[in-house]
């Protein structure tokens, strides 16, 4: 907070008027799943049945997601006292430990999933990074862990804390400034020479001079009170800007939470698909092994050929090679998910549950677009940025408006060694300051803010178009993948029957081994297509859910 407005000579011409009464002794002033029953994907290679299912993407009511509506709304913000704002806007501390009745999954209470170690800690021993725990988790668990451990979410929360302190700083200008000073001065002053009267004029001897050194000890103190009575509106604009910045950071937290949920869902589905693809390739290896056994038996019985055995061996080797590749892809996907969740160094994750479509999207495309416009934090951020730049314009223009300041000072002084009494004094006054010419700096700053407002409006329009495209892209992909699921399910059934018949014909000696190998490859491809269709559907569902940001308990009228 500035004390008394002083007229300073840097660049420009100013004038000041001062009036007051002074009596002075000696003063030194210084952040919709429909309840449909999804189909389950069942893969049945001969007697082997692999059931794949998928947990649906949880909404924030299923996880411990701090939604911005828990903090404040634009309608009531300006009427809340500061302490109420601080209480409502305080983000969740990462050190908060869930209690027994916590809604967080019990998995979060395992120390292995927390990452409370020193962020600068670098493991130096192999055992510190050796996997020693395998833990299956659901998608709901994964989202909760990410929102607890993810560093970007934590940074967004800390940014809100910082903006709260900035608001406190801006509000300090509402109060007067009180300063005090205390001083002690010890000074030895050389005195003037004076003749002593000794010496003889007759002999010409000089008179003796005596030097009187004067020592003083002075104690003084002062108390100053100053207040900016009027500063051209800069104070109110600064407070308004700080309040809006809190809301911007709050929306940034919501955006980070949404992005984290989407990233977790994407990584989880990729990992889940990779695990299922390993199972598919394992089934393919078993099919190829069975074909090789059949070829060996027929050759020993004299109705098969060595060529057919070699064909079967080549098919088995190719299936095993593909399995090795898919196992590596699974391991990579697992570590990617672990990195997103920011879990401990020694944990290996596994997916839990069945692979199935995440749900049914019950809204039409136009309804989804309008809901996205209503919910997306990015649009609100640009509107708030526009309002902040309008406040910055007022701050710039305030430099050319009158500045009125009040000041009062009370002084005490005591000469400790002269026997005099304590003296005191005071001064009160007011200063009016007006900048007559500043070279156009204030106007230039105001025009910069006006340009920033136009930029915010253009970015709002651009973001609006981007949001619409994101909704449409996810919506069209969702519908296409839904159709692909139906087609792929039929293809799997036909491929399974084709392999069964081809194997029977080969075992009966009326079919060829090539038919069996081709049928095996077609079945593996069909299973992979069905898995991809479901995974792609779920990812599109998660992307569409992110595009509309349909968090629960959102006030649709809460626009800045």
Question: First vs last Cα of the chain: how many Å apart?
Answer: 29
State the pLDDT at residue 418.
66
Q: Return the CATH number of the domain spanning residue range 22-30+43-186+215-548.
A: 1.20.1600.10
Rounded Cα gap, residues 460 and 447, in angstroms: 20
Rounded Cα gap, residues 560 and 558, in angstroms: 7
Rounded Cα gap, residues 270 and 253, in angstroms: 26
Token pair, residue 452, equals: 């920033």
pTM over 0.75: no
133-137 vs 209-211, strand pairing mode: unpaired
Nearest CA among 481, 44, 52 for reference residue 272: 52
State the pLDDT at residue 335.
87
Cα-based angle 491, 496, 497 (whole degrees, multiple of 5): 100
Kind and range of the H or E run holding 179? strand 177-189
State the pLDDT at residue 196.
55
Rounded Cα gap, residues 485 and 444, in angstroms: 61
List, for residues 463-512, the tens digit of each pLDDT value.
Answer: 999 999 999 999 999 999 999 999 999 999 999 999 999 989 888 878 88
Rounded Cα gap, residues 552 and 67, in angstroms: 8
State the pLDDT at residue 387.
94
- Show Cβ contacts of residue 7 under 8 Å, excluding neighbours closer than 6 positions: 14, 15, 16, 433
State the pLDDT at residue 508.
82
For residues 243 and 77, the answer to whether their CB atoms sit within 8 Å is: yes
Residue 31: CA atoms inside 13 Å, Cβ hemisphere, count? 25
Rounded Cα gap, residues 342 and 333, in angstroms: 14
Rounded Cα gap, residues 482 and 426, in angstroms: 84
Helix (H, G, I), strand (E, B) or coil at 20: strand
Helix (H, G, I), strand (E, B) or coil at 7: coil
Low-confidence residues of the chain: pLDDT under 50: 1-112, 552-560
Rounded Cα gap, residues 331 and 324, in angstroms: 11
Domains of the chain, by residue range, sit at 22-30+43-186+215-548
Please give the DSSP secondary-structure letter assigned to residue 78: T
């Amino acid at each position: 907070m500035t004390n008394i407005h002083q007229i300073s000579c840097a660049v420009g011409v100013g004038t000041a008027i001062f009036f007051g009464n002074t009596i002075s002794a000696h003063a030194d002033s210084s952040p919709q799943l429909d309840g449909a029953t999804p189909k389950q994907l069942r893969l049945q290679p001969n007697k082997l049945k692999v059931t794949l299912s998928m947990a649906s993407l949880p909404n924030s009511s299923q996880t411990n997601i701090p939604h911005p509506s828990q903090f404040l709304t634009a309608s009531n913000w300006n009427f809340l006292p500061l302490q109420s704002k601080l209480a409502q806007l305080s983000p969740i501390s990462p050190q908060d430990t869930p209690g027994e009745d916590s809604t967080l999954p019990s998995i979060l209470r395992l120390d292995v999933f927390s990452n409370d170690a020193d962020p600068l800690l670098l493991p130096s021993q192999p055992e510190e990074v050796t996997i020693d725990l395998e833990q299956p988790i659901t998608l709901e668990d994964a989202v909760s862990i990410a929102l607890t451990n993810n560093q970007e979410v934590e940074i967004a929360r800390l940014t809100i804390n910082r903006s709260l302190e900035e608001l406190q700083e801006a509000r300090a200008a509402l109060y007067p400034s009180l300063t005090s000073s205390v001083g002690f001065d010890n000074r030895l002053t050389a005195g003037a020479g004076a003749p002593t009267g000794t010496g003889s004029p007759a002999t010409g001897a000089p008179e003796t001079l005596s030097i009187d050194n004067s020592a003083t000890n002075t104690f003084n103190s002062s108390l100053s009170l100053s207040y900016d009575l009027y500063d051209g509106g800069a104070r109110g604009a600064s407070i308004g800007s700080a309040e809006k910045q809190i809301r911007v950071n709050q929306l940034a937290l919501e955006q980070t939470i949404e992005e984290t949920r989407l990233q977790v869902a994407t990584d989880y589905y990729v990992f889940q698909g990779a695990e299922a693809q390993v199972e598919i390739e394992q089934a393919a290896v078993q099919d190829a092994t069975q074909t090789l056994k059949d070829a060996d038996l027929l050759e020993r019985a004299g109705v098969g050929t060595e060529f057919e055995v070699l064909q079967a061996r080549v098919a088995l080797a190719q299936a095993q090679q593909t399995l090795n590749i898919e196992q590596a892809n699974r391991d990579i996907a697992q570590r990617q998910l672990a990195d997103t969740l920011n879990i401990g160094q020694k944990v290996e994750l596994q997916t839990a549950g069945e692979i199935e479509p995440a749900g049914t999207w019950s809204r039409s495309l136009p309804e989804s677009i309008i809901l996205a416009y209503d919910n997306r934090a990015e649009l609100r951020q640009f509107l708030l940025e526009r309002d902040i730049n309008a406040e910055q314009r007022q701050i710039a223009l305030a430099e050319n408006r009158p500045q009125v300041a009040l000041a009062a000072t009370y002084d005490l002084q005591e000469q400790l060694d002269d026997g005099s009494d304590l003296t005191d004094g005071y001064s009160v006054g007011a200063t009016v300051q007006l900048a007559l010419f500043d070279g156009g700096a204030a106007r230039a700053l105001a025009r910069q803010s006006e340009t920033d407002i136009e930029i915010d409006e253009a970015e709002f329009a651009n973001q609006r178009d981007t949001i619409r495209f994101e909704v449409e892209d996810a919506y069209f992909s969702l519908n296409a993948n839904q159709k692909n699921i139906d087609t792929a399910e039929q293809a799997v059934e036909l491929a399974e029957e084709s392999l069964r018949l081809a194997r029977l014909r080969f075992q009966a000696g009326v079919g060829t081994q090539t038919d069996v190998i081709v049928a095996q490859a077609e079945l593996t491809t069909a299973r992979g297509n069905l898995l991809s269709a479901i995974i792609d559907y779920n990812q599109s569902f998660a992307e569409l859910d992110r595009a509309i940001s349909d968090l629960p308990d959102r006030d649709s009228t809460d626009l800045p």
